[in-house]
Structure 1
Amino acid sequence: MTFFKRAPLAAAALFIAATAAQAQPATYKVAYIDPLSGAFANVGELMLAHLRFAVDDLNAKGALPGGQKMQLLQFDSKLSAQESQSALQAAIDQGAQVIVTGGSGSSVVAALVQSVNRWNERNPGKELIVMNHSSIDPDLTGKNCSFWHFQTEANTAMKMKAIANYIKKTPDIKKIYLLNQDYAHGKQWASYGRQMVGAARPDIQFVGEQLHPIGRVKDFAPYVTNIKAAGADSVISGNWGQDMTLLLKAAGDAGLNLRYFNHSAGSVPGTVLAVSQAKIGQLTWVAEWHPGEADTPKVDALAKAYKAKMKQDFLAPRIEMTLRLLAAGVNKAGSTDSMKVAKAMEDMTFESVVGPVRMRGEDHQLLLPQVVNTIAPVDGKTVRVGWDGTNYGFRTDAVYTGNELAQGTECKMVRPAQ
Structure 2
Amino acid sequence: MAKFSTIRWLALGAALALGAPSIQAQQAPIKLGELNSYARQAAFTVPYRNGWQLALDEINAKGGVLGRKLEIVSREDGATTGDATRVADELVSREGVSLLFGSFLSNVGVAMADFANQKKIVYIAAEPLTDAITMAQGNRYTFRIRPNNTMQVGMLVDQAKASGAKRWAIVAPNYEYGQSAAQAFKRLIQERVPGAEIVVEQYPALGKIEAGATVSALEQAKPEGIFNVLFGPDLTQFVREGNTRGLFEGATVLSLLTGEPEWLLPLKDEVPAGWTVTGYPWDQITEPKHKAFVDAYRAKFNDTPRLGSLLGYMVVYMIRDTLERAGSADTEAVIKALEDAKFDTVIGPVTMRGIDNQSTMGAWVGRLALKGSTGGMTDWTYKDGTSFMPTEAEVKAVRKD
Q: So what's the TM-score if we normalise by structure 1?
A: 0.84
**Native 8 Å contact 1:256 1:281 kept in 2:** no
**Secondary structure at 1:336 match in 2:** coil
* 1:286 and 2:278 correspond: yes
Question: What's the offset of the Cα at 1:306?
Answer: 0.8
Deviations 1:140-190 (A, max 9, x none): 11132111111011111111111111112233x443211111112211211
Superposed, 1:52-131 pairs within 5 Å as 52-66=53-67, 68-92=68-92, 93-103=94-104, 105-120=105-120, 128-131=121-124
**Native 8 Å contact 2:173 2:203 kept in 1:** yes
* 1:269 and 2:272 correspond: no
Question: What's the offset of the Cα at 1:37?
Answer: 1.3
* 1:335 and 2:328 correspond: yes
* 1:358 and 2:360 correspond: no
Match in the other structure for 2:151:
158
* In 2, Cα distance between equivalents of 1:19 and 1:102: 35
Deviations 1:178-207 (A, max 9, x none): 111111221121111122122222244422
Higher RCO, 1 or 2 (CA under 8 Å, sep at least 6)?
A: 2
* 1:176 and 2:177 correspond: no
Superposed, 1:115-264 pairs within 5 Å as 115-120=115-120, 128-171=121-164, 173-217=165-209, 219-257=210-248, 259-264=252-257
> Following TM superposition, where does structure 1 have runs of at least 4 consecutive aligned residues deviating by more than 6 angstroms?
8-11
* In 2, Cα distance between equivalents of 1:228 and 1:134: 32
* In 1, Cα distance between equivalents of 2:256 and 2:225: 15
**Native 8 Å contact 1:138 1:155 kept in 2:** yes
* Structure 2 CA distance for partners of 1:17 and 1:42, relative to 1, 3 Å: same
* In 2, Cα distance between equivalents of 1:277 and 1:322: 33
Q: So what's the TM-score if we normalise by structure 2?
A: 0.87
* In 2, Cα distance between equivalents of 1:262 and 1:362: 29
Paired letter, 2:84: S
Match in the other structure for 1:326:
319
Question: What's the offset of the Cα at 1:228?
Answer: 1.4
**Secondary structure at 2:378 match in 1:** strand
More helix by share: 2
Paired letter, 2:187: Q
Relative to structure 2, which stretch is displaced further, 263-272 or 223-232?
Answer: 263-272
Identity of aligned residues (%): 20
Match in the other structure for 1:22:
25
* In 1, Cα distance between equivalents of 2:197 and 2:137: 33
Relative to structure 2, which stretch is displaced further, 196-205 or 222-231?
Answer: 196-205
**Secondary structure at 2:206 match in 1:** coil
Deviations 1:254-300 (A, max 9, x none): 343255423323325242341x432545443225x522335433212
Superposed, 1:324-403 pairs within 5 Å as 324-378=317-371, 390-403=373-386
* In 2, Cα distance between equivalents of 1:244 and 1:253: 14
Aligned residues between the structures: 382
Paired letter, 1:352: T
**Secondary structure at 1:166 match in 2:** helix
* In 1, Cα distance between equivalents of 2:228 and 2:339: 33
* 1:34 and 2:36 correspond: yes
* In 1, Cα distance between equivalents of 2:137 and 2:127: 17
Question: What's the offset of the Cα at 1:331?
Answer: 0.4
Measured on the aligned residues, the alpha-carbon RMSD in Å equals: 2.4
* In 2, Cα distance between equivalents of 1:73 and 1:117: 21
* In 1, Cα distance between equivalents of 2:53 and 2:275: 29
* 1:404 and 2:387 correspond: yes
**Secondary structure at 1:313 match in 2:** coil
**Native 8 Å contact 1:290 1:373 kept in 2:** no
Question: What's the offset of the Cα at 1:29?
Answer: 1.7
* In 2, Cα distance between equivalents of 1:140 and 1:322: 17
Match in the other structure for 2:4:
none
**Secondary structure at 2:282 match in 1:** coil
* Structure 2 CA distance for partners of 1:268 and 1:215, relative to 1, 3 Å: farther
Question: What's the offset of the Cα at 1:108?
Answer: 1.0
* In 2, Cα distance between equivalents of 1:167 and 1:14: 70
**Native 8 Å contact 2:271 2:370 kept in 1:** no
Paired letter, 1:285: V
Paired letter, 1:76: E
In structure 2, runs of 5+ residues without a counterpart are 1-10
**Secondary structure at 2:352 match in 1:** strand
* Structure 2 CA distance for partners of 1:32 and 1:249, relative to 1, 3 Å: farther
In structure 1, runs of 5+ residues without a counterpart are 1-7, 121-127, 379-385
* Structure 2 CA distance for partners of 1:283 and 1:60, relative to 1, 3 Å: farther
Paired letter, 1:369: G
**Secondary structure at 1:286 match in 2:** strand
Paired letter, 2:222: G
Question: What's the offset of the Cα at 1:233?
Answer: 4.2
Question: What's the offset of the Cα at 1:413?
Answer: 6.9
Deviations 1:117-151 (A, max 9, x none): 2222xxxxxxx211111112222111321111110
**Native 8 Å contact 2:231 2:263 kept in 1:** no
Question: What's the offset of the Cα at 1:15?
Answer: 2.3
**Native 8 Å contact 1:259 1:281 kept in 2:** no
* In 1, Cα distance between equivalents of 2:261 and 2:90: 28
**Native 8 Å contact 1:253 1:278 kept in 2:** no
**Native 8 Å contact 2:269 2:374 kept in 1:** no
* In 1, Cα distance between equivalents of 2:369 and 2:208: 28
* Structure 2 CA distance for partners of 1:396 and 1:300, relative to 1, 3 Å: farther
* In 2, Cα distance between equivalents of 1:90 and 1:374: 44
* In 2, Cα distance between equivalents of 1:299 and 1:9: 51
